[in-house]
Each structure stands twice: as structure tokens, then as C-alpha cells.
Amino acid sequence: MATRMQQRRGTAATWTAADPILAAGEIGFEIDTNKFKIGDGSNRWAQLTYFTADAAAAIQDLIDGAPGVLDTLNELAAAVNDDPNFFSTVATNLSNHEADTTNVHGIANTANLVTLAGTQTLTNKTLTSPIINTPTGITKSDVGLSNVDNTSDANKPVSTATQSALDLKAPLASPTFTGTVSGVTKSMVGLGNVDNTSDANKPVSTATQSALDLKADLDGATFSGAVSITDATAATNAITGAVTIAGGLGVLGASYFGNDLVVEGSLTVNGTTTTVGTQDLVVQDPMIYLGEGNSTNVVDLGIVASFDDGTYQHTGLVRDASAGTWKLFKGVTDEPSGTINFSQGSLDDLSVAGLNATSITVGDVSNTEIGYLNGVTSAIQTQIDGKISATSLDSLENKTIDLADNTVTGTIAEFNAALSDADFATLSGTETLTNKSIDLASNTLSGTIAQFNTAVSDANLATVAGAETLTNKTIAFTDNTITVSVANVTDLTASASELNLLDGVTASTAELNILDGLTASTTELNYVDGVTSAIQTQLDDKSTASKTETLSNKTISYTNNTITVQASNISDVTASAAELNILDGVTAGTSELNVLDGITATTSELNYVSGVTSALQTQIDAKAPLASPALTGVPTAPTASLGTNSTQVATTAFVDAAIEALASRSLILDGGGV
């Protein structure tokens, strides 16, 4: 039954006089103006506004997208079955069916439902944005990470993108920048008082001028007192002109000659280090003698060079005194001093057109093993692939075993299985022979007369002229004439025309007797059609499929045979069995191992991540790029030795030393004297 709702009503004057407070959502209708107001539970009638288009819009917002059958209060009441206690009724019904487990909302058995806290096994279910705590049975491929390895941050390798980013960074030690370096000011490197003036345009400082005032001019200088050369190391203190020393020259300190120096006698240079700064060093003597006086054989002999490609290092050809061998090396960072630290760096590559040696060892391959190559005329691997292992057990098919070159091994049981006792007659036992011929010239028939008479009685003999039926008798064709028709041959199925096929046969009796006892069918006999040589000869050249034989010079088809080998017998595998067994127990799946598929990095390159202790990208971000780096703070750099003239960054210590050396120049000798 439909429910009728009637609102509070009255004339406009009645409402104004009463001025009541309507409850929230309660409607008050003016019967004389057909207007109404809706209460809010706090304001009186006079303070409320009439329901207008704005109110209609508000009601529309309240209705929003409600279906047409539920957009009025009457329809909402009908929807709850006009039950003023609808929610209590629902709660009671829910309580009454709380323990139900069958036929609940169309579910036959709620035990089949997944609970929030229980443990159930789901099959063929799709989970949308699930939150899984401590998952099991989920692989990285299931979460879209099939290409990600479970490697700790400290052990993660350098990716291609990371290496590319690293290549754009400068090392902290001895960085070489390109482009325009910004962000570094002269104050940061302790040169706040230095102007950016070229060397050619630098003014003479007060201290420099004072020092110059104490020096003599190169041309026309006048000296007083005794003059001696104590130090002449800088180009500005050079002894000008060519100097020829025919006898001896005594110099108390270091000397600098600005032109050619010719020594007509022997030149002996004592000291720790002799530096030759020429562009080209030409030695006319055909032999350079190293290690004069090296009587103890404890120092290394050879030629060493250095370079700096971001890392200062040495390379060279040196005889290692401790090992007694010459070594071509690279990557040694320690400064050589009598010996080379061969524990650093590695042996370097050498390219030659040809190499002639009485003995050579390559890696783990000895000179004797290399000698085995002598006489090899084709690719070794190709030859090996064409062989079968001499020691392993292989299942073969269609193989020929040369018994003259091989030994067939097996057990008595295997032999007996192939050749059973039932196939043979014993020497002393009693057996029944069928269709056998006994050579009386080589054998003796034994027995008793009674046994012979029983076997040969009148009833068992045929007469010369009589007609008897003979059974299991042999008639000599050479002494008898036998006339028989095809119809009288009881077990003959061939017709006379078929027998006539023998007419013209040139085969001997012995050759035809080959068919005696033949059980093969016509189809089986036809298998020999097309055979071009002796079948037994061909069979003797084959191996059996099930026996164990020792073969030589054989090729085994991997597709048709099962071959069991040891790691040491695989010629092109250099890993030992122990190294191959590293895979034993590996839990990584195929997709995880396939991360290595297509990798071009060498073992040495992958080992570069060894020892990395934090995220590589973080370390890269902390580096300055090689091109136009923007440095902050107070950068430091190594101080170059005095006299260095290169693009190396000059530190304040280097500038101070250079200025001090400039201010304390020594006296100068020219070609004309003091």
C-alpha cells in the first residue's frame, strides 16, 4: 500500500505570527501563496528563505544521479517497504542468518570463500592491486622484474649507462678538464692577489726590481771581487754561446747551458737521477749498455716509460731479476727504483710479424704440449669432432668395429644371453640332431647290435623292385632315376611354370643349398636388392647398438646416440669439472641466467665493481664532469715541480716557489767571460 505524506501547513500570516523553528529538512507550506520553506533546525521561520530555483538546484544536487524510481521521499519510503524500523529489521535478519553457511546470496557453500585472515589456495584467480605479506611461490618474472638480479647494492655491477656517466666525470686525483671550467675563482685556489696577465705582459714587481738591481747585465757587465759559478739551473741564468770543454770543468752547483755543449772526451755523470729533456735522443753507438757493475743481480734491467691518462703509470721492457725473465709490462703505478713492482699492473701485448723461439709457454700450455701441434695438417677441433672417445661408454648405431684394431669387452652373462646353450650340442651329452650331416671319416658311430637291428629291420628296409613308401630317406640322384610330377610333391606349393623358372639356372647345388632351411619371406629376400658388396663384410665394419666396444677413428652421431663423458674429455671446454660444478645447486631460473645472454663485458670489466661499497650513481653525481666542470668549495691539486711548463693547474705553492726562484737568480756567464 502506498504511503501518503502530509507536510505542516498554514497561511502566510499564521506562519509569521507563530515564527516557529522547523527541524532540519522539515517543510512548512503556505496554503495561500503556494510557497514553502525548509527548516535547518536552528533558524526561525522569519529567518528562513522561501524555496526558490536556488533551492531547486540544491535539491537536484541532493538527488544527484539517483534513478527515477528513487528520486522522491515517497519512492525512498516504498523502497524500504514503508518500514520505519527498516535498519532494525535488516539487523535482525542479518543476525538470524549470521551462522548460515549454505545458499547465502546464491553461494552454495561459504566454506569455499576466501577469508581475510585464513589461508586458502586460489586457482585461476585475478588479483587487482593486491598487498601480499611474505609471499611464496612468486618469481621476479611475476612482478615484471625478470631482468633484475638479486644483487646487493654493494655488489651491483656497473651498468652501461652508469659507465657512460662515469666517463663524463673527472677523477679527484690529477683531473684533466676540457672546455671552459666555471665555478672556480682565483680566491678558491689561493690566488686572490694575482691578476690574469699573460707572462709576456707581467710587470716587474718591486721585489723583482730590487733583485735585478743586484745583478749584472749580460752584455758589458763589470764584476768586482772573486767570481764563481754556484748555481745555474734556469734558462734566464744560461751560459750563452756554444761551449766546448776540451779538458775538465768544475762546477760547484748545477749548471744550465743555453746552447750546444760538446764534450770531446769522456763524460761521467754521477748522482742519483740524470734527466734528458730533449725532444729526440739520438745515440750513434749500436749498443746501449745497462747495469754496469751489477754484480749481485738484485736490480731489474731495462727501459721504462711513463704516461698519465688520468692515472700516472709506467710501461716498459725489463728483465725481472727475481724471476730471471724479461717482461713487457704495463699499468705499474709505483715509481721504479732499482726494481719494478710487478705485483701491480699486468703483462702488456706485443705484436710481431713472426716469432722464432727454441721454447715457448702460452698460459698453462707447456712447450711440450705446443710441440704436439707439429705435423697437424687440418683443424684440430674438426678432427676431434670426427672421433669417438676411447674410454667412455657410448651407445652406437650403424657403426663398424675393426676387430683387428679394437677390443670387444663384455661379461660372460652378456655373451651367454646372445648365444644360449640351447643353440649348441655338447661333446658328451645326448641330443637329438635334425638335418645334420655326420662325417664318418672324422667321427665314430657307437652303439650295440641290438640297437642297430632295431633301427635297421626288414620292415624298415626298402626292396630293390618293390613299391614302398619311404620316409626321411635320401636318394642319390647319380645312381637312381626319379620320375615325379608336381602334383605328387605333397608339400610343394609352386606350380610347374614356377618351377620351370629354374630352367637355365647356372647356380651350383651348393649355391642353391643356401636356400635350405631358409625362413625369410620374399619381402625379406628382396632387401638384398641393390646391395653392391658382401653383406657380411659391410656388417663387420659396423658397431652394434647395444654392446660395449672400443672404437678408433669413428664418428658418433650425437642426434642418434647417448654419449656419457667427463668434463676433462671435452676438448673445447677449458673449465675444470670443479668449475663446471659451480652450477650444481644454482637456484637461479633460466630467465635469471639469461641476464648474461648477449653480455659483451669481459670478466675483467665485470670485476671493476669489486669493492664498490655504495650506490654508483650517487658516487657519479658527486664527481665533476671532464668538460667544463663547476667546482665548489676550495679545490686542491698536486703541486708541480719547479720549472714545469704545461697545462697542469698551478697551485699557490707552485706560484710562490716560481716567484721566489725568479727573485733569486744566480750570476750568468757568457761566452766572452765574466
47 part of a folded domain: yes
Query: Is residue 67 over pLDDT 70?
Result: yes
Identify the domain boundary among 64, 80, 101: 64
What integer pLDDT is reported at residue 555 of this predicted model?
Answer: 63
Instruction: Determine the average pLDDT of the residues in 125-145.
Output: 78
415 part of a folded domain: yes
What integer pLDDT is reported at residue 670 of this predicted model?
Answer: 40
pLDDT digits (tens, 9 = 90+) for 314-346: 999 999 988 889 999 999 999 988 889 999 989
* DSSP-assigned letter for residue 451: H
Our count of domains for the chain comes to: 3
Same domain, 384 and 396: no
What integer pLDDT is reported at residue 332 of this predicted model?
Answer: 93
- List all residues 6 or more positions away from 75 whose beta carbon is below 8 Å from its beta carbon: 69
- List all residues 6 or more positions away from 366 whose beta carbon is below 8 Å from its beta carbon: none
Query: Is residue 510 over pLDDT 80?
Result: no
Same domain, 412 and 517: yes
What integer pLDDT is reported at residue 317 of this predicted model?
Answer: 94
- State the amino acid at position 225 in one-letter form: G
Q: How far apart are CA 38 and CA 7, in angstroms?
A: 11
Same domain, 530 and 578: no
Same domain, 476 and 385: no
- State the amino acid at position 226 in one-letter form: A
3-state secondary structure 116-174: CCCCCCCCCCCCCCCCCCCCCCCCHHHHCCCCCCCCCHHHCCCCHHHHHHHHCEECCCC
Same domain, 376 and 233: yes
- Indicate if the alpha-carbon torsion angle 9, 14, 16, 19 is positive or negative: negative
318 part of a folded domain: no
Identify the domain boundary among 553, 578, 610: 553
How far CA 6 is from CA of 1, 29, 502, in Å, comes to 16, 10, 128
Same domain, 616 and 501: no
Question: Contact, 45 vs 20, CB < 8 A?
Answer: yes
139 part of a folded domain: no
Q: 224 or 280, which is more confident?
A: 280
Q: 29 or 618, which is more confident?
A: 29
Q: 511 or 120, which is more confident?
A: 120
What integer pLDDT is reported at residue 103 of this predicted model?
Answer: 73
Q: How far apart are CA 541 and CA 598, in angstroms?
A: 45
Domain span at 19: 8-64
How far CA 662 is from CA of 140, 189, 212, 577, 656, in Å, comes to 70, 21, 10, 70, 10
Identify the domain boundary among 19, 38, 64: 64
What integer pLDDT is reported at residue 477 of this predicted model?
Answer: 59
- List all residues 6 or more positions away from 582 whose beta carbon is below 8 Å from its beta carbon: none
Q: Which of 87, 89, 86 is nearest to 78 (CA)?
A: 86
How far CA 630 is from CA of 74, 181, 187, 635, 650, in Å, comes to 76, 6, 15, 11, 18
306 part of a folded domain: no
**Residue carrying the nine cell digits 632315376:** 481
Same domain, 402 and 523: yes
Query: Is residue 151 over pLDDT 80?
Result: yes
What integer pLDDT is reported at residue 13 of this predicted model?
Answer: 95
Count CB-CB contacts under 10 A for residue 264: 9
* pLDDT, mean over the chain: 74
Beta-ladder partners of 308: 312
What integer pLDDT is reported at residue 194 of this predicted model?
Answer: 86
Query: Is residue 668 over pLDDT 50?
Result: no
Same domain, 514 and 655: no
- List all residues 6 or more positions away from 130 whose beta carbon is below 8 Å from its beta carbon: none
Q: Which ranges of 526-583 would DSSP assign to H, the alpha helix?
A: 535-540, 577-580
Same domain, 590 and 577: yes
Same domain, 504 and 643: no
**Residue carrying the nine cell digits 585475478:** 126
**Confidence category of residue 520, pLDDT binned at 50, 70, 90:** low
**Confidence category of residue 245, pLDDT binned at 50, 70, 90:** very low
403 part of a folded domain: yes
- State the amino acid at position 511 in one-letter form: E
C-alpha cell at 278: 730533449
- How many Cα atoms occupy the beta-carbon half-sphere of 213 within 13 Å? 7
Which range has the top average pLDDT, 51-55, 107-111, 145-149, 177-181? Answer: 145-149
Instruction: Determine the average pLDDT of the residues in 459-479.
Output: 67
Which of 433-437, 505-509, 666-670 has the weakest average pLDDT?
666-670
**Confidence category of residue 226, pLDDT binned at 50, 70, 90:** very low
Q: 342 or 231, which is more confident?
A: 342
What CATH number corresponds to the domain at position 47? 2.10.10
- List all residues 6 or more positions away from 495 whose beta carbon is below 8 Å from its beta carbon: 486
- List all residues 6 or more positions away from 192 whose beta carbon is below 8 Å from its beta carbon: 186
pLDDT digits (tens, 9 = 90+) for 553-566: 666 655 556 666 56
CA 199 and chain centroid, separation: 56
What integer pLDDT is reported at residue 669 of this predicted model?
Answer: 37
Question: Contact, 171 vs 633, CB < 8 A?
Answer: no
**Confidence category of residue 671, pLDDT binned at 50, 70, 90:** very low
- Indicate if the alpha-carbon torsion angle 405, 410, 412, 417 is positive or negative: negative
H/E stretch holding 624? strand 624-625
* DSSP-assigned letter for residue 400: B
Instruction: DSSP for 178-201, please give it.
Output: BS--BS--TTTTT-TT-----GGG
pLDDT digits (tens, 9 = 90+) for 188-214: 888 888 888 888 888 988 999 999 888
What integer pLDDT is reported at residue 464 of this predicted model?
Answer: 64
Question: Contact, 404 vs 550, CB < 8 A?
Answer: no
- List all residues 6 or more positions away from 334 whose beta carbon is below 8 Å from its beta carbon: 314, 341, 344
What integer pLDDT is reported at residue 18 of this predicted model?
Answer: 93
C-alpha cell at 114: 576466501
- List all residues 6 or more positions away from 575 whose beta carbon is below 8 Å from its beta carbon: 567
What integer pLDDT is reported at residue 241 of this predicted model?
Answer: 47
Query: Is residue 275 over pLDDT 70?
Result: yes
Beta-ladder partners of 29: 9, 36
Terminal-to-terminal C-alpha distance of the chain: 139
**Confidence category of residue 130, pLDDT binned at 50, 70, 90:** confident
Same domain, 456 and 539: yes
Count CB-CB contacts under 10 A for residue 410: 12
Q: Which of 147, 140, 141, 161 is nearest to 595 (CA)?
A: 147
511 part of a folded domain: yes
Same domain, 481 and 380: no
**Confidence category of residue 420, pLDDT binned at 50, 70, 90:** low
Strand, helix or coil at 115? coil
